[in-house]
Chain A
Amino acid sequence: MDLILDAIADAFASLSDPELIEVVALTLVVSGLAAISSLALGVPVGAALGLGRFRGRGTLRVAVDVGMGLPPVLVGLALLLLLWRSGPLGSLRLTFTPTAMVMAQFLLALPIVVGLTASVIESLPAAALEQLEALKLNRVDRSRLALVEVWPGVVGAAVAAFGRVVSEVGAVLIVGGNISGETRVLTTLIVQESRQARFGPALGAGIVLLVISLIVNVSLSRIRGAR
């Protein structure tokens, strides 16, 4: 019991650690950029998939569904192979950098954004889809109108994407390397501290992670509630 009580006490003490603040900042930057870039690409693609009648739609849908459940370690490994010095993208010198971590999380978030956006558009009433056709808008305007119609669902996709990347550890650990002061984020810090039986700081990082998730979820739910 003492172990747990001590860990909790240490956890709160560790919250003022300057290193933790640095880690929190990097976590927010990496996961934020990954989520934003996945939204920028994934929302239009998801809209096209949800509304679309184009060749390869079925294949894309299957790919997206598979992508939504991809193991993060596998994504990390695949990206590491691509970025490795002697790999196809080795010349970019991106291994063990925050950029590589953003790329890994982007790949994890993208199928979620595409899949959820397509699903909310497909769930529009049949009358709405028929009316969209009847309005004879160009593709961009049609997608925009459909997205505005389902925007609370798109906000849900954003929450899901951020939630997925901010809490994953496998991919960022592999491509980022958990280098102190350079590529260490909250999840890899928790792994690091737990391995060394420093449960207090690990728990402290966990509490921060939980608070971040909570803040993001609550604010986005409020935005949706105010529609």
Chain B
Amino acid sequence: MTDPGFELVHGVTTVVFGPNGAGKTTLLRSIVAELDVVAYQPQQPYLFRGLLGTNLGLGLTDEQSGLAGQLARRFGLGDTLSKPASVASGGERARLSLARTLARPEEVVLLDEPLAAVDLAERPAIAAAIRESLLGRTGVIVTHELEQVVSLGDRLAIMIEGTVVQQGPVGDVMGQPASEAIARTVGVTNVYEGKVAARDGPTVTVQTDGVQMIGAGEIEIGRLVRVLVPAETVTVLQPTSAGGSARNRWAGIIRDMAPVGRLVDVVIDVGVPLRAILTPGAIDELGLEVGGDVVAAVKASSVTVVAQ
């Protein structure tokens, strides 16, 4: 897999992320051509003449068809399997193809934008099913939506203009983009793992290893989650300043400041490392320096919590 520089890591799921036209689908097709023994769901699932149920079993043994049937019911397709394929909606096509692909026995599973045609409300449940099915297998999932990166991937590969420009564990890549171009593409996002400690309507409190974070998400207490805090949403304040509407306020110490293009990447230790992107003007005005005490504030609506 040397051409675009993609590293296929066995036993984990790698999400390939990048803007449209970055060559993500081409990368998947080249893996299909090279490895041959893969389960592959193309970006535009196609259903053939006949019933949805007939399409579900295509290319599968009886046992695999049984598994595909279970997944299809889990994806809410139970009542639709006797419908002609010609009247299936885009979402039904996507869910059916996903059930069929996940039921395949191959160790390597490639999914091209598996959730793109799926309704937002159904995505968390289907994402959870994908993660379960891929447990212990080698997954490569293409997406252009950052939230799916966090819900589906162990590793992240960023693709820009046909080349994989950075790859590694999701938190590492999202938290430390290797170049300005990557930072512009994916943004700088702090990613933490934690467990839901409390729930209050549309927000949840997550206990991470070092700090509590309040974010948007309707996830039951006790679930393992990932928390996304985009660096540009972090406000840095003097330790003495009070008030404000942000629900997350963490006292911390500045550990590092480095220029990123015309902006400055500030790393604050708030119990966990938190990156903030600030303008040089703001740095001067606040008199920020490495080793100084600050308060970092983030609105709960800027913090995304995704179930794992």
Contacts and interface: CB of A to CB of B under 8 A. Distances in A.
Taking chain B's interface residues, is the majority helix, strand, or loop, or is none over half, making it mixed? loop
Contacts of B282: none
A199 B44 CA distance: 61
A50 to B, nearest CB: 15
A136 B42 CA distance: 13
A128 B44 CA distance: 9
B42 A134 contact: yes
Contact of B45 (A131, A133, A141): A131
A149 interface: yes
A125 B58 contact: no
Contacts of B32: 133-134
Interface string B43-79: 0111011100000001100000000000000000000
A133 B97 CA distance: 14
Nearest to B33: A133
Contacts of A127: 42, 44-46
Which of A125, A130, A149 has most B Cβ within 10 Å? A130
A148 to B, nearest CB: 6
Contacts of B58: 135, 137, 145
A134 B48 contact: no
Contact of A131 (B42, B49, B50, B104): B42
A162 B41 CA distance: 41
Interface of A: 125, 127-128, 130-131, 133-137, 141, 145, 148-149
Interface of B: 32, 40-42, 44-46, 48-50, 58-59, 97, 101, 104
Given A131-B45, A131-B46, A131-B97, 15 more contacts: A127-B42, A127-B46, A128-B46, A128-B48, A130-B42, A130-B44, A130-B46, A131-B48, A133-B32, A134-B42, A136-B59, A137-B59, A145-B48, A145-B58, A149-B48
